[in-house]
Structure formats: structure tokens, C-alpha cells
Structure 1
Amino acid sequence: MFELHHLTAQEQWAWLQRGDITPTELATHYLDRIDRLDSGLGAFVTVTPERALERAAEVEQRVPRSAALWGLPFGDKDLTMRAGVRTTYGSRLMADFVPETSDELPETLDAAGAISLGKTNTPEFGLPAYTESRVAPPARTPWDTTLGAGGSSGGAAVAVAAGLLPFAPGSDGGGSIRIPAAATGLVGLKPTRGLVPAGSGIGSLGGLAVSGPLARTVSDAAMLLDAMIGTTDFPYTLRAPRWNEGPLLGAAMRGEGRFSLAVMTTSPWDNAYDITIAPEAMAALNHGVAELAALGHGIEELSLEPSPDYARDFRTIWQAGASGIPAEGDALSLLEPLTQWLVARGRELSARRLAEALSGLTAFERSVIRQFAHVDAVVTPSLALTPRPVGWYDAEDGERNFEQQVQYTPFTSFVNVSGLPAITLPVHQTDDGLPMGIQLIGRPGGEATLLAIGAQLERKLQWHRRHPSVW
């Protein structure tokens, strides 16, 4: 039986534009699905039905229909503040925090005519690569609810994959868009550092965390990314290269071009941890590469040059970033063990060690861009392992927990360090029906190329027609 969520976000927008449905009707449809289905999925921390329906009426009456996302629902990741809505940051420390002001990204999406239905689930302060916190149920991939959805944009990914939202914004400081997208069978795009004004990465330590879209289709991801970029002037002197042929949606719609690609299965973590690529991940990579070759793209192999200081330097930045969490004295006990470990290690760091780490990662960034410069994109597995069972990560030993996260996601964090764009694409399914993907890493400002390649694969493989049972 046909239902509204079976439509892509672009198709829903077209229905709204024609008047076939109203923003209120569409919001009501999704709110009903959230109410019926989310208790076993963990997509949302807070749902705001009354606010959403008030906003839908406002959109109908006051927002120009030409707005980029007019009438489309979405969810704010629970790391972003929306005035008057509880924002927990995935932590008991902030469980009752209700901000009086909104962050820039929610305001940008409001200006585009979108309608927030609530706050999507995230782990504590967005630090882990899995979404299991002590303020909300774990985010579970709807393909197998015994397995986690990854993180830190796990709730956003679950909501889109389960048909509770047409698309959703996420943030990515070490893979936090691409990891859950891969675990739930979605398209997830991490933009170039500096591209999205409201989530540029420039203000974060090491320039790691940027905002980007999660969606079922490449063109839906491009549609949301265009709206996230917005039309306002960028408030910094640095800005990533912009596209030359109009909005990114055009590149995703056309899906044109033949490109030179390099396949890579090495990572900068290889010297520090035991990294093993599971057969399911290799099968996805081989399938994706075979399809890319059949489409006429040039394929070669690439090995990343050894980077013996990368693991130490990245750990330093991750720990230093956690050191600023506003918890002192007894309040530290409200934090989860992993976060407590990160905070403690971060507060022990010297300014010299932090400066050395920042300098080392800057040199690493330049090295990666040099190594990748001769091709249009580099192809890797999205994840080294299949989606991990809920409760798989060590809840008490911070060192072991960090190692597990690296072993699951060795191909993501170095892209953040390098400031490059990357997209994960759900090209494959295991024998058990679990989605597995590949990651394409582009040149600085190379989103249009990634979207074009993704659109070509999507036309061939039709992954948006695969759905979990809750669909």
C-alpha cells in the first residue's frame, strides 16, 4: 500500500508545490509514524508535535512556496540548540537543559521552509561512533534491531532509514554522518571544511566537525546540502571552493561524467591498531568498484603512505576536545565512562603536546591532499566491519572502547583531518540483508563530482527501492 513516506524528499516537495498535500498533512503523517514505530528504534530523543504543527501552519501562511525545503519535515540533531526545546547533548549532565536561543543551522533550515519534528538521538556530546547513551534508548538500525546504527548522527540515520523523516541533517567530526549512513543503508555526505556556514568546521578544534545531510537518495542529499549552505555571506575569510554550475542538486540530478578513481584499503590507523576488513566489507568494496568500472570510470589502486604519528595526534585532539565539557567535581560522575576517560586525558595534556598534534595533523592533511591529487576521487570501504551489536563496545575501559571504534571505522576520521568531502553509498547487501557501503573521497570542494558518481551508481543499483521491514 502506498504511503507518503514512500516518496523521495524531492517527490514530496513536488507534491507540496502542486498542492497535492499540505505541510500540515505531511508533518502529521511523519508524526504518526514516529509515535507508532520509534519506541523500538531510538531515532528521537524529543518529539515536538505541537510545535511542529504550529510551524506547519506558519509555513503554509507566511513562508514563500519557493523556499528550498518548503513544507518538508526534518529533525534537529540533539547536539544543536533550538530555542525552547530540550537539548541533552546525549548526556545526563544536560538532561534538563532548555536553551533560550537557537544555533545557526536550525535557523538556516527554518529559513528554507523546513519543519522540525524534534531532536534526533546522539551519543554523549557526539564523541563515540555509536549511539548508546544514558539519556535515551540506543539507536538501532531498522534492518536488524539487535544491531546499532552507528554514530554520532545515529538517530538521524535511523529516522530516515525507517521512514520517520524524508532526510535529516547530521554532523561529522570523525565519521559521524558516514558511519550511521553506512550502518542503515543511506547516502551520507560530509562536506568540505568551510562549505556549510552553520557547520563549517572552522570553529572546532582541528577543524574536524562539519554539518552535512543523510538521505535515501543522492539527489535528496544534495537538496538538503544546498539548503544547509544557504544564501548568506560566509562569516570567515576562509571558504571552500563553490560549484561552478549552480546548486549541487544539479550535479546529482544529471549524474554525468567519467572520472579517474583510486581504490584504497589502507588507513592511517594501520600501524597503531589491528585493523581487519571483514569479508562483507570487502564484498561491498569489490561490488562497488566493479560497478564503477562498468560505468567507464578509470580505476587504479592506491596505498596511503605510512603516517606513524597520526594515531597519537588524532587521539590528542579527540581528548583535548572533550576537556572543555562543562563538568567539574561531582558533576563528572554524571558523564559516561568513555567521556570521563576522554575528559581526564584531555585535561592532563600540555599546551606543547596539543600544539605538536595540531602541527602534525596539518602536515598529514597536506600529505593526503598531495597523495590524492592525481585522481578525482578515492574509493574505500565505508566501514571495516558489519554494523556492531548493541552493547558491543566496552562500557568501562576507555582505551579498549577507543580501539573498538577505530577497528570499526578506520577509513573516516582521516577525511575530517584532511578537510576533504566524502560520501558513503549503500551499494551492497550481505546475505542476511544488511546494508554495506563504499566511501568516495573527493578533492577540496569536489562535492559535485561525488554526487555525480553517486547518482550514476544509484541509477544502476536502485538502492532507494530497498527498505527495512518497518517500511
Structure 2
Amino acid sequence: MIIHELSALDLARAIASGEVSAAEVLAHTRSRIDACPEVGAFAHVTADRADREARAADQRVEEGAPLPFDGVPLPIKDATAVAGEPWEQGAAILVGNVAEEDEGVVTLLAEAGTVMVGKTTAPEFSFPAYTEPEIGPPARTPWDVRRTAGGSSGGAAAAVAAGIVPAAHGSDGGGSLRIPSACCGTVGFKASRGVVSPGPRGVSGSGLTTHGVITRTVEDSAALLDVLAHPWPGETYHPPRDAVLERAGSYLAASRQSTGLLKVGLLLDPLNVDDVDLHPDAEEAALRLAGTLESLGHSVRTVHRPFTPRDWEAFMPLWTSAAAAIPLTAEDEGNVTELTRWLREQGKRLSATDLGSAVNAVQALTRKAALGWADVDVILSPTLSGPPAFPGELKLPDGGEDFEAQKRFTPWASTWNLTGNASISLPVHRAVVDGVELPFGAMLGAVKPGGDALLLSLASDVEKADPWPSIREPMASAG
């Protein structure tokens, strides 16, 4: 048994059976962290908390009462608060900041028995589609450590892809679980709005963002969604009815049951810009997944965008107002990135009418998407327009140009944050680019609310039919 090659579920079973102890797994995980510095996966390593949680897991196993994920190492994104641990959010102005209490998802993962081995690297306030924090190491894909791991959950994806941990917490407000998964060759699932709560203290705001995990297997994503799909008092958004979940009883059980035959719409039109230079292997990832789905009996046909990039612009006031709402002093304003500064400037220009109109426009876009794609069950697209980017292709000196580059890099992902429907990126394709083998993801999105279990079932069938590599050792191909 090679510990770091096991899935989260397999590792949990090995620990529960006594085949390996949580303490041994933690020691091995620390050796993997030390062995993979090139990927910049961790902003902080949480030694004391991890030791304490591993000892508690071993005690429960000894007493014959293990928890579902006892002893499984699972780090938390540095955008999320963990009591007594650094909470710097990739921002120079927050160096030394320590969280006072756990966020709800941290509590749920701890109650499932996971061991919080560290805080994964995130960019400043989690706005970019790359992970180049002002403090600490940048996150890099282990397939080629010259290239970005994506963002904003870049450290999480790098940690999973490099075999440091089998799963990692992340969040997704415009693609931030799926973008890094495409860059790193992992599975990134964004749940439907309302499935994963920001409670008990957090709020949903515009409803764009949700917590989730990055994994190497669809079953791990499903099983950990069962952990995270827990309501807290005072919810603003509630999970939509999920018929597949109701029949299966859990997301994990749903992922193990084949779905009925589905109608799949293949979408290559970009959704946030008029046109994009689509890399042939990004297109091939979608076509390969289309072929796999057809081999499983599903029907696939080409569809087009049911709304314009101008309609997509409703995303901007919600995104920029969130940046403007960050409480910064005048001194802080001079010490944030150009992207953050630009987003805040855009947000501060909004009137109440602008913001209200944007909320209405998002709802109108959601209706257009539902009506335009009403005759299919699932939308299939590339996850990204090209391979994992070199940092200089995205992080630009001008904030506005930076954001436009990001839009062209990820023309599809944010739409599923606007509609609130479930979406998953799968690492279905690999190709040599400039002498280096790189991963390319394809994305599935549910057309109707409550499609989480359906997507997990479909993705699991894809994984069985066309499995992907599990781990990529850093620098293995970068030369």
C-alpha cells in the first residue's frame, strides 16, 4: 500500500481497519509536503491541530467507533477561517491575521474525522483565476511547475494532483474549484446553490460562491459532498429538489448508480466574450468526453449560447461590489494588487440602481439559459480555452486587462455560478504542448436546478469508461 496513491475513501477504510494509523498517514503526508515544494500548495502547515486530530482519530479507531473519514488528511483553503490558525487570504495587508473561530465547513469536515494538515495557497481575496499570492509561494500545476495551478483554489488542486493529500477543501465563486482542477488534472465539483451552506455565521450574499472539495475521484467528491451538504439555521438559499438524490439516499450512493440515458448539449461558444482562441486540445477534451458519453448510450448534439456576452456582464456588478465591500483603510488601499484595486474601483462606481439591475439581469440570464437549453439535460464544454497558462499570460500590470485575460482563459465556468446550477470539471484529456504533457479538462453543467446527484452519477460512469491518471509527481515532465 502506497499511502499517497489512495483515494480519500480507500484511505479512510485502511485507517478504520487498522491497516495504517492516522499518525502514520500524517507523517507520510508531511513527507509529501516536504517533497513537493515546487507546487506551492501550502500557505501554512498546521502542525499542532493536525497532531491533535490524528491522535483523536486513532483513539476512535482503537475504540471501534471510527468516523467516516477518520485520519484522512484534508487541508482548508486559506480564504476560509480555522480557529487559532493563520487567515491571511493571500493578502500582504493580512499577514499575521489569525482566525478566532472555525467556519461551518471546517466544523463539518472535522466532525467527519478529517485531519486539517494546513491552509492551502490562495490568491488575494480569492478573486483571480490564478494563484499568485502577494505572500508565500505561487501555486503551480505539478504537470509543469512553470505554469499556474489555476485559481482561486490553486493550492488545493496542486496538493491533490501532486499526491500530497487525496482531497482538499476549496471554494468556487466564478470557477475556482473547476479552473484549478482543469490546470492540475483533478476533479472539481461545484454544487448547486443552497446545497453547501456558508453557515452558521457566514452569509450567501449574491449567491455566486459555494464551498466544495477538489479530489482525484468522483466517488470522493460525492462522499465529501455528503459531509458538506448540511443546513444551518437561518438559510437564505435552500437546496433545490434533487430527484436522483432522493432515490439514491446519498450523493455517494448516487455516484455508484448509473443514470438513465441523457441528452447532452455540446457547447463550444464562449459565454462571457464574443469569441475566443480555442486551443485544439481544449476542444479535444470536450470532444473526447462527448465520445465517451455517446459510447455509454447518451445522445450528444451541438448547442449554442442562449444569451449574449453582454447578458453575462451582469456578473460584473456582483463581483466588483464584493471587492468594494472589503473593509480597507486608506493605507491598505495602497497595498493590494492591481486587480483588487481595479475591481474595487469598479464596484465603488456602482449605484443602488446598478446593483439592483444586475440582480435582475442575472435572473433574466438564468431564464434564457433554462429556455435555450430546455431540450437537453446537461451542457458539455471545455473547462478552459487552453492549457494551464504561464503566470505572465494572466497576471497583468493593468487590472482591467488582467480581468479580460482571465475571461478569455475561462469563458464558461462562471455561468454556472450565475445560474446556481451544479457543474463539474473532469480531467479527461492530456496532450503534449511545447514538449510537455499537460492536462485538459472538460466540464459538465446541469441545465436544471437539483442536478448534483445526476452529474456525479454521470461523471462516475465517465471515470469508469475513460479513467484518468491519479497523481502527477512535480517536475516529472517539466524538465
What is the 5 A alignment of 1:47-58?
Answer: 47-58=45-56
Corresponding residue to 1:449 among 454, 465, 469: 454
Moved more, 130-139 or 194-203: 194-203
- In structure 2, the residue matched to 1:458 is 463
Query: Contact 2:82 / 2:103 at 8 angstroms: preserved in 1?
Result: yes
- 2:149, 2:377 → 1: CA distance? 30
Deviation at 1:468, TM superposition (A): 3.7
| 3-state secondary structure, aligned to 2:192 | coil
Determine the structure 1 residue equivalent to 2:374: 373
Residue 175 of structure 2 aligns to a residue whose secondary structure is coil
Match for 1:129: what amino acid?
Answer: A
Structure 2 partner of 1:425? 426
| Structure 1 equivalent of residue 354 of structure 2 | 353
TM-score normalised over the length of structure 1? 0.94
Alignment deviations for residues 259-309 of structure 1 (CA, whole Å, 9 cap, x no partner) = 2111111233233xx422111111111111111111111111111123253
**Which residue of 1 is the match for residue 249 of structure 2?**
246
C-alpha distance in 2 between matches for 1:158 and 1:250 = 28
1:41 is matched with which residue?
Answer: 39
Return 5+ residue gaps in structure 2 as ranges. none
**Aligned CA distance change for structure 1 residues 12 and 470 (closer, same or farther; 3 Å):** farther
| Paired position in structure 2 for 1:292 | 293
AA paired with 1:250? A
For 1:308 and 1:405, locate their aligned partners in 2 and report how far apart those are by CA, in whole Å: 14
Q: Identify if the C-alpha distance between structure 1 residues 233 and 325 changes in structure 2 by more than 3 Å, giving closer, same or farther.
A: closer
Q: Name the SS of the counterpart of 1:129 in structure 2.
A: coil
Q: What is the match of residue 129 of structure 2?
A: 129
Give the SS at the match of 1:165: coil
CA contact (8 A) 1:309 1:360 kept: no
Distance 2:237 2:74 in 1: 30
Kept after mapping to 1: 8 A contact 2:197/2:210? no
Deviation, structure 1 residue 60: 2.5
> How does 1:65-464 map onto structure 2 within 5 Å?
65-198=65-198, 203-230=203-230, 235-236=235-236, 238-242=238-242, 243-244=245-246, 245-271=248-274, 274-307=275-308, 309-431=310-432, 432-442=436-446, 443-464=448-469
Structure 1 letter corresponding to 2:56: E
Q: Residue deviations 1:9-57, cap 9 Å, x none?
A: 11111111211111111111101211232x2111000001232011111
1:160-218 deviations in Å (ceiling 9; x for gaps): 00011110121000000000001100111000000012379993442100111210011
Shift of 1:466: 5.8
Per-residue deviation, 1:84 = 0.5
Could you list the runs of 5+ residues in structure 1 that have no partner in the other structure? none
| Cα distance in 2 for residues equivalent to 1:66 and 1:233 | 28
Q: 1:6 Cα shift?
A: 1.0
Q: What is the alpha-carbon distance in structure 2 between the residues aligned to residue 453 and residue 202 of structure 1?
A: 32
- Tell me the distance in 1 between the aligned counterparts of 2:58 and 2:97: 31
Q: Cα deviations across residues 335-392 of structure 1 (Å, max 9, x unaligned)?
A: 1111011112211211111111111111111221222332221101111111101232
Letter of the 2:254 partner, please give it: A
Q: Percent identity?
A: 35
CA contact (8 A) 2:422 2:445 kept: yes
Structure 1 residue 16 corresponds to structure 2 residue 15: yes
What is the alpha-carbon root mean square deviation over aligned residues?
A: 2.1
SS in 2 for 1:12: helix
Please give the secondary structure, in 2, of the residue aligned with 1:434: strand
Distance 1:199 1:275 in 2: 38
More deviation in 323-332 or 457-466?
A: 457-466
TM-aligned CA deviation for residue 310 of structure 1: 2.5
Q: Give deviations 1:82-117, integer Å, cap 9, x for gaps.
A: 111001111011111002111111111111111100
* SS class of match (2:319): helix
Give the counterpart letter for 1:303 in structure 2: H
**Separation in structure 2 between the aligned mates of residue 61 and residue 201 of structure 1, nearest angstrom:** 31
- Name the SS for the 1:321 alignment partner: helix
**Which of 56, 59, 62 in structure 2 is aligned with 1:61?**
59
1:42 and 1:137 in contact (8 A); partners too: yes
1-structure distance, mates of 2:81, 2:474: 33
The TM-score with structure 2 as length reference comes to: 0.93
Name the CA distance, whole Å, in 2 between partners of 1:468 and 1:435: 13
Q: How far apart in 2 are the matches of 1:466 and 1:80?
A: 26
Letter in 1 for 2:444: L
2:474 & 2:90 partners in 1: Cα distance? 28
Deviations 1:238-257 (A, max 9, x none): 33224212111112223443
Amino acid at match of 1:404: A
Distance 1:120 1:402, change over 3 A: same
